[in-house]
Amino acid sequence: MGKAIAPFVAAVVLVVVSLRGFAQTSPSNPTYQADYENYVAERTRIDALGVNLFGDTISYLDGTTVFRITDVSVPTNGSIPVSFGRILSPHETPLGNALQGSIDYTKNIMGVQWKPDIPVIYGAYPMGGTPNPTGKIFGCSASLSPGPVTVPQRPPILPYNYFFGVRVNIPGSGEEEVLTIPESATVPNDGQVYYHVTKSNWRISCLPGLQNSNSGKGFAVAMPNGVKYTFDWLSTQQLQGFNVSSEPSIPRSMLTFHATKATDRFGNTVTYTYDPTHPERITSIVSSDGAAITFSYDTLGGVKTVIANNKTWTYAFVQAPGTSNAAYRYLSSILLPDSSRWAFSYQNQMYGWRPSGAIFATNCNFNAGVMTSQDYQSDGELGILTITHPSGAIGVFKYKMIAMGYNNVDMGGCSTSNPNGIPFTGRSKAYTYNSLISKAISGPGLTSVSWKLNFYPSWSWAFECSPACATTSRTVVTRNDGVVDTYTFGNDYQTNAGQLFDHTTAKGSSVLRGVTYSYVTSITGQPFPDYWGGHPYSNIGDNMSSTFFRLNRPEVSVSTVQDGMKFSRRVNSFDQFVRPKSVTVASAPAP
């Protein structure tokens, strides 16, 4: 044993001597000049581009895809990003995606597909007129729900039919739904009254007014990292009305509250300014240490240039095919300061729809027909997004409207004998969704890679689950090299909806990797509340206790088996904010 240790000791001594010699020739306290190389290297290092180079984040639960790209970012001394980017959500409806359902398209500063990635709080609301003469504009301290709309000779139109909620977007942190704050929630001790919250504990209080309006209140959002955003600039955009059978449509508008200032816990600030004549147009983003981004616009209201540090990004749009409205445009390219560019094309507005055989939801049986991920005859039926990256890589994303659903759905039902001719009541057990079904990457010098997504959902109402219904759904992702990833998700609306239970990676008959997950099933003995927020739709019974999606059920353990080893991680305890306090990690040979 002594002989085995000796070489190791010698090596350690050698390292110590070497470090001592280095210390004699280096400054004891490195100066800014000496450390400048590291500062520059961080911004000049060229990293390899990964498979998400197009900014896409994909949910294998249902094919949801969100693209987030930061085009311009300026370094600052604070923690608040001085940046400008864009967001694309092909899975959303035209209304939710980028106001394609609007009437004045000149207010879409990124065209009708993309949205600017800037701090906003927004929601679409009925604005008066027949059959809703009083209208509804949401306020900070009031309920966010617009309430039912009365229609003659039929039941009221409940909010979930025409209202997709209120959301807040924070660059660098993402976008989340705004919900009613639970009474038991812990809030900042800053003297403010907090009315709303998001899943990530963004706490929302009220401001006394708005900068560009004599009526209404603004919002203040306190982030967990200490940054506070002030939303007190309002823009509106009229949307196409919501049609109800033969009745007159319900007029709606998108109300957007823009941030005018953000302050971190050290007092660093970022100020956002807008055009008073066109309040939806941001004109500058400026930090307290001088970092700045400025904007110019074309004659149809689209972003024309973004300028930072004397460098210019130029945006180009093209009129959408099949429309006579010159302002109904798609973002077609972005020219970067180094003369490289992004380029985009959109087939069928990215919505895949096959009318023939689409008999879903025409009766209580919910026959999916051809609305599955496996059933389509040609690419002409699909919605296709093609993105060319500045590097030359090309990404092709294909979408198809398919049937999705959950099992054991409560507060819903169906009757073909309904006297009003509307068979469905309450929550639906199934729905249609514009899901990603394939992704491919190719380009000069690249080995092409592609993924095909197949979904295997099921659905049922609670009264149909006797003696039992399926509690999981499955998604299979097949890569062009033969590697297959299989995901098992919870599919019981009341107990496990959306939770990932199992992820297996295999090639042929060989399992390469297996991961299993478990979650908190009860809050008994836990320091955090049962739910993290209440839905504004409380008037239709979609309350906190009955909606699993808003319950605090965090991941408690994950176990990975790979290369003959088992790796485990278990959370022993959580704090009041559902953050792990104690974690045990271990590894051992797999059985």
For residue 39, the model assigns a pLDDT of 64
Does one domain contain both 333 and 352?
A: no
Number of domains in the chain: 2
Q: Are residues 311 and 234 in the same domain?
A: yes
Q: Give the angle 107-112-113 at the CA atoms, nearest 5°.
A: 135
Q: What's the predicted TM-score (pTM) here?
A: 0.87
Q: What is residue 239's predicted lDDT score, i.e. its pLDDT?
A: 79
CB-neighbour burial class of residue 363 (10 A; exposed 0-12, middle 13-18, buried 19+): exposed
DSSP character string of 503-559: EEEEETTEEEEEEEEEE----TT-SS-SBS-B-TTGGGT--GGG-GGGB---EEEEE
Give the integer Cα–Cα distance in Å for 465 and 138. Answer: 39
Domain end call among 339, 366, 397 = 339
Q: What is the mean pLDDT of each run of 10 residues along the chain (591 residues)?
A: 37 37 49 66 72 94 95 93 95 50 82 94 73 52 74 69 83 91 80 89 92 88 95 88 65 89 96 97 97 97 97 96 87 97 93 59 67 80 94 96 89 64 68 91 94 94 89 96 97 94 96 97 90 61 59 95 96 94 94 76
Say if 10 falls within a structural domain: no
Verify that 324 and 356 share a domain, yes or no: no
CA–CA distance, 434 with 463 (Å, rounded to integer): 28
247 and 377 both lie in a single domain: no
Domain co-membership, 328 together with 388: no
Q: What is the pLDDT of residue 128?
A: 58
Give residue 536's pLDDT.
54
pLDDT at position 16 is 36
pLDDT for 189 equals 84
Whether the link from the prior residue into 131 is cis, omega within 30° of 0, is yes
Decide if 264 contacts 288 (C-beta within 8 A).
no
Residue 531 lies in a domain: no
| Any domain includes 114 | yes
Does residue 113 lie in a domain region? yes
State the pLDDT at residue 131: 41
Q: Is residue 241 part of a domain?
A: yes
Evaluate the omega torsion of the peptide bond into residue 467 and state whether it is cis, within 30 degrees of 0: yes
Cβ–Cβ under 8 Å, residues 72 and 83: yes
For residue 310, the model assigns a pLDDT of 96
Q: Are strands 311-319 and 303-308 parallel, antiparallel or unpaired?
A: antiparallel
Choosing from 451, 477, 503, the residue where a domain stops is: 477
pLDDT of residue 7: 35
- The answer to whether the Cα torsion of 276, 78, 218, 180 is positive or negative is positive
Q: Given 415, 445, 477, which residue is the final one in a domain?
A: 477
Q: Are residues 88 and 130 in the same domain?
A: yes
**Residue 173 shares a structural domain with residue 310:** yes
